[in-house]
Amino acid sequence: MPAEAKVNTVAKVEARAAAPASPPLTERQEARRRRILHASAQLASRGGFDAVQMREVAESSQVALGTLYRYFPSKIHLLVATMQDQLEHMHGTLRKKPPQGESAAERVAETLMRAFRALQREPHLADAMVRALTFADRSVSPEVDQVSRQTTAIILDAMGLEDPTPEQLSAVRVIEHTWHSALITWLSGRASIAQVRIDIETVCRLIALTKPEGQKPEGQK
Amino acid sequence: MPAEAKVNTVAKVEARAAAPASPPLTERQEARRRRILHASAQLASRGGFDAVQMREVAESSQVALGTLYRYFPSKIHLLVATMQDQLEHMHGTLRKKPPQGESAAERVAETLMRAFRALQREPHLADAMVRALTFADRSVSPEVDQVSRQTTAIILDAMGLEDPTPEQLSAVRVIEHTWHSALITWLSGRASIAQVRIDIETVCRLIALTKPEGQKPEGQK
DNA sequence: CGCTAATCTAGAACAAGTTTCAGACTTGAT
DNA sequence: ATCAAGTCTGAAACTTGTTCTAGATTAGCG
């Protein structure tokens, strides 16, 4: 079925007519790219950020070092792309069984906790991806932004919103901030799993505050 | 006995804020340490994280490379210590002119925005410190924790709280998460200064939610 | 097919963080 | 003053991310 567009991490950022922005990849190139991402995720799963060594990735994916750098201009780019990959997969998984909570806040918290549990199964991989994400400098902005958009989409999905208000988008941004930072404190051993849950639940309360005026917060108490 | 006391885990220095009184450091050692931190901040101010090169720090502070590593076991340790230094200074500054807002939320937001403005004056230094902070792994946990405690203290100061409830501490943790993560998005050019302000103001609204029930939220609306 | 440009490969080379080592220097105790 | 233990220095070595080069392959095109 040709309808299967390349959902790949290669941003479908078309649009520019004149710009040679998105080169169509050959079969073999697409295969190389997949091998590289697979090797990256595999090495990351073993030993986290430090275990993803460019020479090893190149060898594992049977590609020359120079080629690896042609596909991903830095280790950070590679790991952020790996995260894009995983995020897509997770978004798909989450879509299949939407959260059950009554309020938007509950659903978002449930969704994030589900994602958190998935990360706990591969803590080293989580380490590599999250560290890369927060360490990324300006040269990786487009890719990091893409990850951010994907995360936003997941949260908005959980909220069940079509077109959020600016206020709601602010709340979502703050939730993302908390999510990333809480993950970091967990990964570096400074916060327990329980504490991450509390932080997520706490920040999700913000959602109730941003409801369009007519609605009253669906809180408990 | 030992000559110049063991500097090894110089970092495990008690939680004492700015106590040059108790450390087991010689005069000359204290001076070395200060030279190193000064060189670190200076180089960071010029070119950010990348400009802080251990060989340069060593040369600038007139210390052998091996000695630098004895004082700060890694570049990350060094930069986190630099941040501790700067934070102390900032806490002192903030104490002198406490924020004016009526509500706790307003005061915290004002305080963080003041800190943010200070960081904007030395964006490269901010880059070096914040990147180091979020990139730090478990081996730097004690030092990062110290920075976190200091930040918590600043926020609680702004709230005017003596003994916060667990709920309030959760809110403060979420505010810190947002603060760090928002800084990162700003440093990497993915968020504007205005957006950081909005995020800070948004998350500070959480404070009103965590008041012990007796008290009415001090906002109007 | 034959050509040209782009891509890929192997490997060396470079850069910066980190480690190691022998020898000179300090310090505090005897 | 002397000595043992701990510290500092200078320099080299090692590690891993990144860049560069020359030659082999591949892709697209007339």
Q: What pLDDT is stored for residue A14 in this prediction? A: 33
Residue of B nearest to A217 (CA): B209
Among partner residues B137, B171, B199, which is closest to A202 by beta-carbon distance? B171
Q: What pLDDT is stored for residue B9 in this prediction? A: 42
What confidence tier does B212 reach under pLDDT thresholds 50, 70, 90? low
Q: How many CB atoms lie within 10 A of CB A72?
A: 22
Angle at which helices A166-187 and B166-187 cross, to 10°: 100
Report residue B165 CA to chain centroid gap: 23
pLDDT digits (tens, 9 = 90+) for A133-151: 999 999 999 999 999 999 9
Note down pLDDT in tens along chain A; length 221 residues: 333 222 233 333 333 333 345 667 788 899 999 999 999 999 999 999 999 999 999 999 999 999 999 999 999 999 999 999 999 999 999 999 999 999 999 999 999 999 999 999 999 999 999 999 999 999 999 999 999 999 999 999 999 988 999 999 999 999 999 999 999 999 999 999 999 999 999 999 999 888 664 444 444 43
Structure tokens at B79: 């930069």
B193 HSE (CA, 13 A, CB side): 10
pLDDT digits (tens, 9 = 90+) for B117-158: 999 999 999 999 999 999 999 999 999 999 999 999 999 999
CA distance A89 to A71: 21
CA distance B41 to B31: 15
Q: What pLDDT is stored for residue B60 in this prediction? A: 97
pLDDT digits (tens, 9 = 90+) for B19-43: 444 467 788 889 999 999 999 999 9
- Which B residues 158-177 touch A at CB under 8 Å? 170-171, 173-174, 176-177
Distance from CA of A209 to the nearest CA of B (A): 9
Spatial CB neighbours of B16, under 8 Å, sequence gap ≥ 6: B22
Longest dimension (CA), chain B: 67
CA distance B173 to A69: 39
pLDDT digits (tens, 9 = 90+) for A12-21: 333 333 334 5
pTM: 0.88
What confidence tier does B177 reach under pLDDT thresholds 50, 70, 90? very high
Q: What angle do CA A157, A160, A165 make, to 5 degrees?
A: 95
Alpha-carbon separation of residue B123 from A145, A174, B114, B174, B217 (angstroms):
21, 22, 14, 24, 36
Measure B91 CA to D23 C1' (Å). Answer: 61
Is any Cβ of chain B less than 8 angstroms from the Cβ of A190? yes
- Residue A178 to residue B180, Cβ atoms within 8 A: no
CA distance A178 to B206: 13
Let me know: does B123 contact B49? Beta carbons within 8 Å: no
Q: What pLDDT is stored for residue A189 in this prediction? A: 96
Structure tokens at B93: 């500054």
Residue B4, CB, strand C, below 7 Å: yes
Distance from CA of A119 to the nearest CA of B (A): 17
Measure B6 CA to C21 C1' (Å). Answer: 20
Structure tokens at A107: 């659903």
CA distance B204 to B194: 15
* Closest to B76 measured CA to CA, from A135, A182, A190, A130: A135
Let me know: does A114 contact A177? Beta carbons within 8 Å: no
Q: What pLDDT is stored for residue B117 in this prediction? A: 97
Q: What share of chain A is helix, strand, coil (3-state, %, to 5)?
A: 70, 0, 30
Q: Give counts: helices (H), strands (E), chain A.
A: 9, 0
Report residue B221 CA to chain centroid gap: 34
